[in-house]
Chain A
Amino acid sequence: MVNDLIIIEGCAKHDRRSQQLLYDKYSRFLLGICMRYAEDKAEAEDILQDSFLKIFFSIKDFSGTGSFAGWLRKVAVNTAITHYHKNLKHRYHIDIEEYVSAETGISSFEESFYTSEELYIVMNELPAGYRMVFNLYAIEGYKHKEIAEMLGIDTNTSKSQYSRAKAVLRDKLDKLGKLKKSY
Chain B
Amino acid sequence: MNVRELFRNKLENSEVIPGDSVRGELMRKLAVKEFMSFNPARFNIFYLGGVAAVALVSVLIMTSRPTTNKTLKEHTIIENNKTPDTISFTEPQKQPSAEKKSMPISQVVNITERKLSTGSETKISIKNIDSKVINSKDEITPAIKTDSFKIKAIYQDEVSDKNKQATLQRTIGAAFDVSVSGGCSPLKVKFLNRSISYDSCRWVFGDGGFSNEKNPEWIFDQEGEYKIILKVFNTDGNQAIASSTITVHPRPVARFEMTPEKPVIPDDEIRFMNYSIDAVKYKWEFGDGDYSNSFEPDHKYRIYNNYNIRLIAWSQYGCSDSMLVKNAFSGSGCFIDFPNAFIPGSGGPVGGYYSIRSDEAARIFHPSTSGVTDYHLRIFSKLGIPIFESNDINMGWDGYLKGQLCEPGVYIWKVRGTYKNGEPFVKMGDVTLLKE
Binding site for B on A (CB under 8 A): 13-14, 16, 19-20, 23, 27-29, 31-32, 35-36, 41, 44-45, 48-49, 52-53, 56-57, 107-111, 114, 116, 119-120, 123, 134, 138-139, 166, 169-170, 173, 178-179, 182-183
Contacts and interface: CB of A to CB of B under 8 A. Distances in A.
Interface in B1-45: 1-4, 6-19, 22-23, 25-27, 29-30, 33-34, 37, 39, 41-42
- When A and B form their complex, which 3 residue pairs have the shortest distance between CB atoms, in order from nearest? A28-B15, A31-B16, A138-B4
A32 B1 contact: no
B414 interface: yes
A113 B386 CA distance: 28
B26 A114 contact: no
Contact of A109 (B2, B33, B426): B2
Interface of B is mostly: helix
12 contacts: A27-B18, A32-B15, A36-B11, A49-B25, A52-B26, A108-B1, A109-B6, A111-B9, A123-B7, A138-B7, A139-B8, A169-B3
Contacts of A31: 15-18
A31 B304 CA distance: 41
A169 B22 contact: no
Contacts of B37: 57
Interface of B: 1-4, 6-19, 22-23, 25-27, 29-30, 33-34, 37, 39, 41-42, 414, 426, 428
Given A49-B29, A166-B3, A14 B34 contact: yes
B377 to A, nearest CB: 14
A152 B41 CA distance: 38
Given A41-B19, A139-B7, A170-B3, A20 B14 contact: no
Given A14-B41, A114-B6, A182-B426, 11 more contacts: A14-B34, A31-B17, A32-B11, A45-B19, A48-B18, A48-B22, A49-B26, A53-B29, A109-B1, A116-B10, A119-B6
Contacts of B8: 138-139
A19 B19 CA distance: 18
B146 to A, nearest CB: 67
Contact of B16 (A20, A28, A138): A28
B10 A119 contact: yes
B19 A109 contact: no
B3 A120 contact: no
A19 B8 CA distance: 30
B3 A45 contact: no
A33 to B, nearest CB: 9
B41 A13 contact: yes
A139 B18 CA distance: 21
A43 to B, nearest CB: 12
A77 B358 CA distance: 58
Contacts of A49: 22, 25-26, 29
A102 B148 CA distance: 95
B42 A173 contact: no
A123 B30 contact: no
Given A23-B26, A53-B33, A182 B414 contact: yes
A57 B4 CA distance: 34
A28 B17 CA distance: 5
B78 to A, nearest CB: 66
A168 to B, nearest CB: 10
B3 A114 contact: no
B26 A119 contact: no
B27 A45 contact: no
B11 A120 contact: yes
B46 to A, nearest CB: 13
B30 A53 contact: yes
Contacts of B42: 14
Nearest to A52: B26
Most A C-beta atoms less than 10 A away, residue of B13, B18, B33: B18
A13 B41 CA distance: 7
Contacts of A169: 3, 7
Contacts of B26: 23, 48-49, 52-53
B360 to A, nearest CB: 28
Contacts of A173: 3, 6
Most buried by B among A48, A178, A183: A48
